[in-house]
Structure 1
Amino acid sequence: MGPPTVLTIAGSDSGGGAGIQADLKTFAAFDCFGTSALTAVTAQNTLGVHGVEGISPAMVAHQIEAVLDDIGADAIKTGMLFGEETIRAVVHTLEKRFGKAAEGGRERAKVVVDPVCVSTSGHSLLPLEAVDTLRTVLLPFALVLTPNIPEAEFLVGWQKGSIKSIEDMQRCAAELGSKGVRWVYLKGGHMPLPKGEDGTKVVVDLLWDSVEQKVTTEERPFLDVLNTHGTGCTLAAAVAAELARGKTVPEAVLSAGNYVASAIASSYPVGRGAGPVNHFHPLTRRTLPLPNPHSPAPFTDYLIAHCGDAWTRYVQHPFPNSLAAGTASLESFLHFIQQDYHFLKQYGRSNSLAAYKTEDMKLMAGSIEIVNDVIKETEMHVKYCETYGISREQLQAVPESITNIAYTRYVLDVSSRGDLLDARVVTAPCLIGYGHVGARLVSSNPGVEVDSSDKNPYWGWIQEYGSDWYQGAVRKGIELLEQTLLDSPISPRRLEELAKIFLKATELEIAFWDAAVEAGRKSREEVMRREGLPV
C-alpha cells in the first residue's frame, strides 16, 4: 500500500508560500502523496500579488478527471477557484465522480474548502459575482469549511468587524453551517484575545458541527510574527491530509491547527515581506525542540544541562549558602559585594552591546530592561557598603581583583566580538544562576535564626535575589534568550559553541565565589597571625 493521496484544486503562488505550492509541501509533511489541478497562475512574492491569470474551466475539469481516473484521491482540498465558471466546473466534475452532496458525495470525497476570496495583501482573488456561486454551489459540497474571521463575515454577509467575541464566532459558524456545510472550522487568528493581566494573548479556533449543533474550541498562544503567508492554504491542506490518513474531522482540525502553529513558530525570513511558514518543520531535524508546555525554555535547559557538574557546583556553592546561614565572615561578604559592584558595571555594558546588536525593537527594549535592573542591583550594593562605612566614592575606587578582571574581560570580549546570541549567552549564567540560588535559599530558609536581618546581616541580600523583582528579571532574561534563538535558528555546531561560552561563564562565576571564600580565609589567617596563633 502506498501513502494516502490528496488532491489540491487551487491556484499557483510563484513565491512558493501559498497555493498549490504550500498544499503540496503540507501533504508531503503529513506523509501523503499530493496531486494538483491548477485553476490560475499568479505573479506574487512576499510583498503581494502582482497579477493573476486563470486556467480555462474545461482544463481545470480535465486535470481533476485525469488525476482521479488514475491516482484517485483519499481527500480533496480546494483553494483559489478564480471565477464562477471554474467553481461550477469543479463541483460538476466531483459530483460525476462521487455523487451530489445530498447523496453523500462530500463525505466520500472528503472535500475541504478554503474559501479564498482576498489575499492577505488585499488583492481580490475571486470576483464578487462568483461569491454567490461559491455560497450556493460549493459550500454544500464541503465536508469541512476553513474560513478565517474576515472570510466568514464576508460569506454570511456581515459587515467587516462584526465578529468581536467567541460568541460571535459561534453564531457566524452556525449560519455558515445552515448553508449546507457539514463542519465549519472558524480560525481566530485575526482576533487575538487577552488572557491574564500580563498582556498575554491567545488565539481561539472554533469547530462547529452543523448536524449535532455542537461547538468545540481550541486555544493556542498568539504568535505576533511576520511570517504568516499561506497559513490559510496550509491549514486546509493539513486538514485534508489528516482526513486522507483516516482521522475524524475533530482530530484532523486539532492536528492541523497544531501543525500550523509550529510552522509559524519555526519560520525563518524569506523575501522582504510577509514570508512563508516552515512547512517542513516535522521533517527537519531540529537542533533543539520548540518551546512547549513540557519545556518552555529548551535553549536554557540545554545550556544548563551541558554544564553538568559545573552548574551544580555554581548554584550550590558554599559562599551563598554561608550567607543564608549567617556564617560567612564580614571580610568575605565585603570582598564579594565590592567586586560584584565592578562586575555589574561591565555586565550592564555587555547587555547594552546586546541592544546595539539587534534591529528588533522588542529585543532591544528587553536588553534595556536588563540594564535598568543591573543599575538597581548596583545601587543595592552601594547601600550595603554604606551600611559598613564604605562610601560610594570608596567603592568606586576599589581595584578589580584578578578573578574579576578575568571574568569581566571574557564577558566583554565575547559580547563585542560575537553576535546577539553570544552576548545573550555569556551573560546568562550570572542572571539565571543568581535567580536559582535566591529562589532556593529563600524557599528552604536554611541555617539558624535567619528570619531577620538583626540575627543574620546577610539575609537581606538573599531575599533580594529571591524577590519578585529579581525573579521577574530572570524570567525576562530567559524569554529574551529563547526568543533570540527562535528568530535565528542555528546549526548543531553553533549550538555547541554557545554551550561552551555558557560553561566558561559558569566556571568564572564559580571562581568569583571561590575568591570571596578565599578572601575570608586570608582575613582569618591574618587575624590569627596578629594574635600569635598558629595558622
Structure 2
Amino acid sequence: MQIQCVLDDIPLQAIKTGMLADAPTLQTILQTLKAFYPEGKAMPPLVIDPVMVSTSGHSLLESSANALIKEELVPLAAMITPNVPEAELLLGLERGSITSLDTMLSAAEGISKLGARATLVKGGHCKFSVGDVLALAKTQQDPDSLYIRWDAGIGPDQPAILHLDNTEALEQQDVVVDVLYLRNPKEDGVAKIALFVRPRLETTSTHGTGCTLSAALACAFAQGLNPFDATVQATRYSHQAIATAPRIGKGHGPLNHGHSIVARIIPQPTPVNPYPFVSALINSCPGLWRDYVEHPFVTQIAAGTLPAESFVHYLKQDYIYLKHYARAHGLLAAKSVTFSGAGAAATIVLHIVRESQMHVDYCAKWGVTPKELESTPELPATAAYARYIMDVGYQGDDFMLIIAVASCLLGYAEVGKRLLAAGANTEGNPYKRWEMRSLANSRVDTDSCEPARWIEDYGGVEFQEATRRGIDLMEQRAAHDPPSTSRFAQLQDVWERCVRLEIGFWDMGLKP
C-alpha cells in the first residue's frame, strides 16, 4: 500500500488528509494510522481538511463517511479546517445557518467538542466588514478570551496612507475572517478564540484554496509550531498565494503556490497592498510609527488644547529646520542621476524658500518677529534631526536621502488623513490654520496660498496626492532596483532613526 510505504520509509513530522470521497477510503486510512501509531506511540500532528463541500458549493463526500470523520478521524487531529458549509454539515445544521461572526464562533466551539486539538473555521463563504469585527470585539466581556489578528494591511492600526485609493470608510471595508478555537490556549496560542482578519480579494483564482491552507498548516506543524503560530504562517501564505495568482483561462483558476520560494525582500504589489516597500518600512517599527503619528503634540493640536507657548516654541524651531530641509533637497538634487530627479528636488527647494516667508508671516500672527526667528538658538532636537539627514545625504546615495526625508512627508500625511477622518475639532481651534509644508514632490502654489488650514490641508486631496507621488517614487525605485537583505536593512535603519527624530522633535515642542 502506498501510504504504508511512506510511513515505513520516511520519519513523518506532520500528516494531512484531503478529499477522502467515501467510507471505504476513510476506513483504510483509519486502519493504517491506528496500526502504525498504536496506543502509546505518538502520532505526528494530523491536519484534517474535511473536503465535504468545495469553495464553489459542490458536495465532495458521501454522506456515509460523515459519521466516520466525526467519530473516529477528528479525535486524532491536531487541527480540523472546515469551511462554513462543512461546519454546518459536521454540526448537523441547515445550510445557511452560519451567517454571522457569533454563529461562526459557536460553530468553532461546537466542532472542537468532536475532539480535535484545534478547530479552524474558514470564513471565505461569509461576507463581513471591519465594522462587524470591531462590533464583536466590543461585546466581549472577557478580552483575554478573544484575540483579533489583523493582517495584510487591514485593521484600525494600519497606516491610512497605505490605502490612498480606498475611498471606503475603514468600518465598511470587506474582510475575510477565519475563526480558530483552541481547547488548550495556554499551550497552543494566545486566547481560546482567535480571529484572523484580512482583506477580501476580488478574484477568480480560488481553485484549491482549502487544500492550500491545510497543506501550509501541515508544513507549519512539521516545523514544530503550535496551532496559533501555524495558523498565522499558513493564512498569510495562502492569502499571498491568492493575491499574486496568475489569471489563467476562465473559471476558478489556480493559486500562486511558488510565491514564497522566490527570493524577494519586498513582496510584489497586490490590490490590497499596492505599496509593499513603504508598507515594509512602516511595519518594520510599528510601535515607533504609532508613537509618531499619535504623538501628544498632534492630539493636542487636533483638540485645540496645545498651550500657545508650546506652539510658538515649536514654530521657532521649525523655521530653523526648514533651512536644513532646503539644504537636504539641494543635496538631493546634486545626488540625483536623472534630470527629472534633479528637477524635482530643485523645485522643492524653491517651494521651501517661498514657504519660509509664509512661516515668517504666520509667526508674526503669534507675536514672533523676524528678528526673533533669526536669533532663536537651535535646540539639540532640531540639530540632531537636521544633521542626521545631511549626514545620510553625504554618506549615502540619493535613495537613502529620499528615505531620510520621507518620514516627514508620510507622517504629516498620515496625521492629516487620520484627524480629518476622525472629525477632529476645527471649529474655534487656534491651530486650524497653519501653513502647508511643501514636502517631497508637493505642488502647492505657495505664492497665492494664504496660511492654510492644517488639519484640512494635510488630510485633504492636494497634500494626499503629493504624498502619493512621494510613495510612488519610492515604490518605483524599489521595483527598479530591488534591495538585497543588507540594503533593505540599511534603508530600514535610516527610516527608523528619522521616525525617532520626528518623535523627538515633537517632544521638544511640548517643552518650551
TM-score, normalised relative to structure 2: 0.51
Unaligned runs of 5+ in 2: 132-168, 186-190, 281-331, 359-405, 417-432, 439-445, 484-512
Q: Distance in 2 between matches of 1:493 and 1:457?
A: 39
Q: How many residues align?
A: 309
- Conserved in 2, the CA contact under 8 Å of 1:324 and 1:459? no
Which digits, 9 at most, give the CA deviation of each residue in 1:8-56, with x for residues without a partner? xxxxxxxxxxxxxxxxxxxxxxxxxxxxxxxxxxxxxxxxxxxxxxxxx
Q: Distance in 2 between matches of 1:265 and 1:208?
A: 26
For the pair 1:458 / 2:449, whether they are aligned, the reply is yes
Equivalent residue, structure 1, for 2:181:
208
Residues 19-418 of structure 1 mapped to structure 2, 5 A cutoff: 62-99=1-38, 103=39, 108-195=43-130, 197-198=169-170, 199-211=172-184, 214-286=192-264, 288-290=266-268, 297-298=275-276, 309=336, 311=341, 314=344, 317-325=348-356
Q: Secondary structure at the match of 2:259?
A: coil
Give me the identity figure in percent. Answer: 33
- Conserved in 1, the CA contact under 8 Å of 2:436 and 2:457? no
Q: 1:470–1:86: structure 2 CA closer, same or farther, 3 Å change rule?
A: same
Q: Distance in 1 between matches of 2:474 and 2:353?
A: 33
Shift of 1:311: 4.6
Shift of 1:458: 2.8
Shift of 1:92: 0.9
Q: 1:253–1:63: structure 2 CA closer, same or farther, 3 Å change rule?
A: same
- Conserved in 2, the CA contact under 8 Å of 1:326 and 1:457? no
Give the AA of the match of 1:116. Answer: V
Give the AA of the match of 2:220. Answer: E
Q: Distance in 2 between matches of 1:482 and 1:155?
A: 50
Q: Distance in 1 between matches of 2:198 and 2:184?
A: 26
Q: 1:312–1:147: structure 2 CA closer, same or farther, 3 Å change rule?
A: farther
Shift of 1:115: 0.6
Q: Distance in 2 between matches of 1:437 and 1:317?
A: 18
User: 470-479 or 309-318: which moved more?
Assistant: 470-479
Q: Which has the larger radius of gyration?
A: 1
Q: 1:476–1:225: structure 2 CA closer, same or farther, 3 Å change rule?
A: farther
Q: 1:181–1:438: structure 2 CA closer, same or farther, 3 Å change rule?
A: closer
Give the AA of the match of 1:209. Answer: L
- Conserved in 2, the CA contact under 8 Å of 1:324 and 1:458? no
Give the AA of the match of 2:196. Answer: E
Q: 1:481–1:174: structure 2 CA closer, same or farther, 3 Å change rule?
A: farther
For the pair 1:469 / 2:461, whether they are aligned, the reply is yes
- Conserved in 2, the CA contact under 8 Å of 1:287 and 1:492? no
Shift of 1:156: 0.7
Q: Distance in 2 between matches of 1:176 and 1:95?
A: 22
Shift of 1:129: 2.3
- Conserved in 2, the CA contact under 8 Å of 1:113 and 1:146? yes
Q: Distance in 1 between matches of 2:225 and 2:125?
A: 27
Equivalent residue, structure 2, for 1:414:
none
Shift of 1:184: 0.5
Q: Distance in 2 between matches of 1:154 and 1:104?
A: 32
Shift of 1:210: 2.6
Q: 1:436–1:88: structure 2 CA closer, same or farther, 3 Å change rule?
A: closer
- Conserved in 1, the CA contact under 8 Å of 2:55 and 2:125? no
- Conserved in 2, the CA contact under 8 Å of 1:98 and 1:109? no
Q: Distance in 2 between matches of 1:477 and 1:187?
A: 38
Shift of 1:480: 10
Shift of 1:89: 1.0
Q: 1:244–1:68: structure 2 CA closer, same or farther, 3 Å change rule?
A: same
Q: 1:68–1:211: structure 2 CA closer, same or farther, 3 Å change rule?
A: same
Give the AA of the match of 2:19. Answer: M
Q: Distance in 2 between matches of 1:259 and 1:140?
A: 27
Which digits, 9 at most, give the CA deviation of each residue in 1:220-263, with x for residues without a partner? 23223221211110111111111112222222121111111121
What RMSD, in angstroms, separates the aligned Cα atoms of the two structures? 4.4
Shift of 1:94: 0.3
Q: Distance in 2 between matches of 1:318 and 1:437?
A: 20
- Conserved in 1, the CA contact under 8 Å of 2:129 and 2:174? yes
- Conserved in 2, the CA contact under 8 Å of 1:112 and 1:144? yes
User: 201-210 or 273-282: which moved more?
Assistant: 201-210
Shift of 1:128: 2.0
Q: Distance in 2 between matches of 1:266 and 1:156?
A: 34
- Conserved in 2, the CA contact under 8 Å of 1:110 and 1:243? yes
- Conserved in 1, the CA contact under 8 Å of 2:435 and 2:451? no
Give the AA of the match of 1:249. Answer: P
Q: 1:311–1:300: structure 2 CA closer, same or farther, 3 Å change rule?
A: farther
Unaligned runs of 5+ in 1: 1-61, 328-431, 448-454, 496-535
- Conserved in 2, the CA contact under 8 Å of 1:326 and 1:458? no
Shift of 1:322: 4.9
Give the AA of the match of 2:33. Answer: L
